[in-house]
Structure 1
Amino acid sequence: MEFNSYTLIIGASVVLVISYFFSLISSKTRIPSVLMLIILGMLLREGLHLAGYNKINWMPVLEVLGIVGLILIVLEASIDLKLTRKKTRLILISFTIALISFVVNTILIAFIVQAFIPHIEYIISLVYAMPFSIISSAIVLPSVAHLTEDKREFLIYESTFSDILGIMAFYLLVENVGETNSAMIGMEVTGNIIVTVIISLVVAYALLIGLQKIKKNIKLTLLIAILLLLYSVGKMFHISSLLIILMFGLALANPQIFFRRFFKKHYNPERCSTILNDFKFLTVETAFVVRTFFFVIFGASLAVTSLFHSQVIVLSLISLIVIYGSRWIQFYFVDKKDMYPQVFLAPRGLISVLLFFAIPKELTLPDFEAGILLFIILFSNIIMALSLVRGEKSNKTSELAGHSGTNHENG
């Protein structure tokens, strides 16, 4: 067996077709397609092993897919954020919970990491804890369609904010690990954010005004290329590039807020609406492809045996208890009566994998096993799936009870 061009094309096509059927199964069973993709990757690993391919280096491909996936996730999330006065309270609550969850989970999981791997600096344990503290909007968004509108909107906003806050905090921390002067770090981070916000606004306006004037059909592909370019160049100059992506997405989704006064003459409502719809279609399709290959390759890159190491099991279980315990406490104080199933909808996914593998070599801990990441992703998704299935059954039972009560009264 040889890896020629046709073999690779056939393999990639088969994986995409299988992934499509996984998404159909997921919509019927509430089992996240991520679980099925990772298992498919594990089976692929075993198949390649039997065929004699034991030393495939997946990391370069995984890294590129991760960066593209990261940009697409932030874009996909930001263009779904509608900023209106009516939703101010919902946005504030979801942002507060996302922020508190991320901070609390990061601090507590960092202590757990430090307890299992002694003699490491706490700041390095924080770097390792961050990927496990971020809810995956890429998994939440397609999984909550059947929930009531208020629950669905809350979870969409919360997971989106969790993604954006977590990603930005991770890269800001990693870029300032070597600094010892906290005041200097604060000034540098603040200055970085201010400069990036200004650049982001200029780029957002320039791109939107330019897009409205381009009449050729290739404008969206051109835009993706420009955003990838801006992100990569920004990272080279240590700018918070994700703010550029976020700002552009918010401007595209909320042009009525951004195009006021002087900029109003550059705003064409019909053109902006068409661009937004086309862009949503493009990001969903592209994200599906990137997500498929990312999780399959992730599954193929990890040994299943790593799940059964004692350190992996204990550290992962304690981390999961922290994640859901702190989440339950927050929901209890926010909404005591109606916490189910959203308290259990906190899956980890692509962002966690990407940030874990983005930890710089100089901060890498050889004693930290990657199986912990796989364990937490698998079980957080299983918990979400079971909660959604149980919640759906409870809703059906309530509806049947309501119908029978109505019929009894009518009788």
Structure 2
Amino acid sequence: MQQIDPYILIMEASVIIILSFFFSEVAKRTNIPSVLMLIILGIVAKFGLDAAGLGNLNFFPILQILGIVGLIMIVLEAALELKLERDKYLSIGKALVVAALGLVASTWVAAIILQYFIDGMSSEVAWLYATPLSILSSAIIIPSVTGLKGAKREFHIYESTFSDILGIMLFYFLLSQTPVPVAPEEGLEVIEHHASGLAYLGNILVTIAASVVASYAIVLIFQNIKSHVKLFLLIAVLLLLYSLGKMAHLSSLIIILIFGLIIANMRLFFRGPLKKWLNYKKALHIYEDLHVVTVETAFVVRTFFFVIFGVTISLASLLSVDVAIVSLLIILSIYLIRFVLLRIFIGADLFPQLFVAPRGLITILLFYSIPQQLEVANFEPGILLFIIIGTSLIMTLAMVVDKKRTTSAIRKVASEPIGYERWKAPSLEDEVVTKEAKH
């Protein structure tokens, strides 16, 4: 293998981060998701690697690690944004219901489409493949909705966060229920045993209980640590707990979510006897610093993940007519289901919420998590890329139109200022004249 100069690698990594920052600034002004620009950067980098004779490098282990760390950071970032205040309970409830129903309905329809058009795909495997395609991408949505007004922005943050969590739980539940041939290449028909639905529910309850205990312990311990390097120590502890939970077959992402919710809403969770154990000022300082570190880390991890994903994808699959048909049908079903749900739970004002439904990091990560024994040879990876790009472009167009509409309304109001008249205080003579006129 050709030796790569470490200084060249450092320079390339630095340029990628600088370009990612530039893409983020462009995204704020144009509403074009920075993720799309990062994927395009990866595609361009692929041509450069091919020209340098490095096109056969195996990026999958790096992509998998970046995906896991990125997933943790994105969920933690989103959880730190969730303020469980009384006046937001209704909004949170609506977002949860829309996310859950949208996930299940979209997965069901996508599974039907995949099973119909792709040979050799059973109904169980079709559901497994359809689930990642039905999960909203908080990695794309959260940075993209900063320009929306408060209520709409909060709805998208809540909905995409819930979609991430519920989608991952649904995927691993389906994976635990799908029969997996142990050695299909040898013609064996031995099937691994899987946990029942009741056992999986018990797994979730155990995870929640362990997460609550661990989260309280982390907050109480770390508020008393005086070292200046405790934030990355805290992140290391969370990564360790996530990995241990995965090895114990627990729903580890719940650990990250619950910790984020507890530290972001300490006054709510530390009440009664627990209140005396909390040093709110110190814990708040940890929360504020952790929020900054999480945002920065998520930015870097997300940057390299999507660039490397762009390097690994094959553009040739996008030219397939079958890929286009399957992808367009799934995209159409996504927005039809979304329209019905938003119309019921949100009301008539559906723009641009209807079109804010991109797929992204979690979709990619879960596809890479499908066991090799369950992979369907006739499934084209281009479907994944087509849907990610398609839903992102649709969201981009909707956000651009909404921004123009808002800007136009502001300019119209500014061009028609409210008139005024000079007011004069009435004198005693004016009052006499007015009284005489009445008589």
TM-score range normalised by the length of the shorter chain: over 0.9
Partner of 1:325: 336
- Find the residue that maps to 2:332 and give its secondary structure: helix
Deviation at 1:406, TM superposition (A): 4.2
Which amino acid is the alignment partner of residue 103 of structure 1?
Answer: V
1:211 pairs with 2:212: no
Deviation at 1:404? 3.8
Following superposition, the deviation at residue 362 of structure 1 comes to 1.7
So what's the TM-score if we normalise by structure 2?
0.90
Task: Give the distance between the partners of 1:142 and 1:406, measured in 2 at CA.
Answer: 34
| 2-structure distance, mates of 1:112, 1:165 | 22
Q: Distance in 2 between matches of 1:175 and 1:266?
A: 40
Residues 1-28 of structure 1: per-residue CA shift (max 9 Å, x gap): 8512112111111111111111111111
Amino acid at match of 1:305: A
Alignment correspondent of 2:186: none
Q: CA deviation at 1:401?
A: 2.8
In 1: Cα distance, 2:233 partner to 2:195 partner? 39
Q: For 1:5-404, what aligned pairs fall within 5 Å after superposition? A: 5-178=6-179, 185-404=196-415
Give the distance between the partners of 1:116 and 1:141, measured in 2 at CA.
33
| Structure 1 residues 318-344: Cα deviation after superposition (integer angstroms, max 9, x where no partner) | 111011111112122233431101110
Q: Distance in 2 between matches of 1:149 and 1:54?
A: 46
**Distance in structure 2 (CA, Å) of the matches to 1:407 and 1:201:** 55
Q: Could you report, residue by residue, the CA deviation over 1:38-80 in whole angstroms, capped at 9, with x for unpaired residues?
A: 0000000011111222211111100000110111111111111
Measured in 2, the distance between the counterparts of 1:247 and 1:336 equals: 31
- Partners of 1:14 and 1:104 in 2: CA distance: 42
Matches of 1:358 and 1:253, distance apart in 2 = 30
Summarize the Cα distance change of 1:311–1:409 in structure 2 as closer, same or farther, 3 Å threshold. Answer: farther
Q: Is the 8 A contact 2:176 2:195 kept in 1?
A: no
Separation in structure 2 between the aligned mates of residue 117 and residue 74 of structure 1, nearest angstrom: 33
Q: TM-score, normalised by structure 1?
A: 0.96
C-alpha separation in 1, matches of 2:195 and 2:285: 45
Q: Which amino acid aligns with 1:122?
A: S
Question: How far is 1:184 from its partner?
Answer: 6.3
Q: Is the 8 A contact 2:70 2:301 kept in 1?
A: yes
2:429 matched to which residue of 1? Answer: none
| Matched letter for residue 36 of structure 1 | M
1:408: Cα distance to partner?
7.4
- Name which one, 1 or 2, has greater alpha-carbon Rg: 2
Task: Measure, in 1, the Cα distance between the counterparts of 2:35 and 2:316.
Answer: 20
- Greater displacement, 184-193 / 155-164: 184-193
> 2:379, 2:203 → 1: CA distance?
31
Local SS of the residue matching 1:346: coil
SS at match of 1:213: coil
Amino acid across the alignment from 1:130: T
Gaps of 5+ in 2: 181-190, 422-439
357 and 104 in structure 1: CA distance in 2 versus 1, 3 angstrom threshold: same
The farther-off stretch of 37-46 and 145-154 is: 145-154
3-state DSSP of counterpart to 2:196: helix
Give how far 1:261 is off: 2.3
CA apart distance, 1:177:
1.9
> Distance between the aligned counterparts of 2:233 and 2:411, measured in 1?
52
Displacement after TM superposition at 1:183 (Å): 12
- The structure-2 alpha-carbon separation of the partners of 1:405 and 1:99, relative to structure 1 and needing over 3 Å to count, comes to same
Shift of 1:364: 1.2
- Per mean C-alpha deviation after superposition, the further-off stretch among 184-193 and 381-390 is 184-193
Structure 1 stretch 305-314 or stretch 273-282: which is displaced more?
305-314
Identify which range, 333-342 or 250-259, moves more after superposition.
Answer: 333-342
Deviations 1:173-225 (A, max 9, x none): 21332399x99622111110111111111110111111101110111111111
Unaligned stretches of 5+ in structure 1? none
- Could you tell me how far 1:405 is from its partner in structure 2? 4.3
Q: Are the counterparts in 1 of residues 176 and 194 from structure 2 also a CA contact under 8 Å?
A: no
2:164 aligned partner, one-letter code = D
1:375: Cα distance to partner?
Answer: 1.0
How many residue pairs get matched? Answer: 410
1:409 CA displacement:
9.0
3-state DSSP of counterpart to 1:79? helix
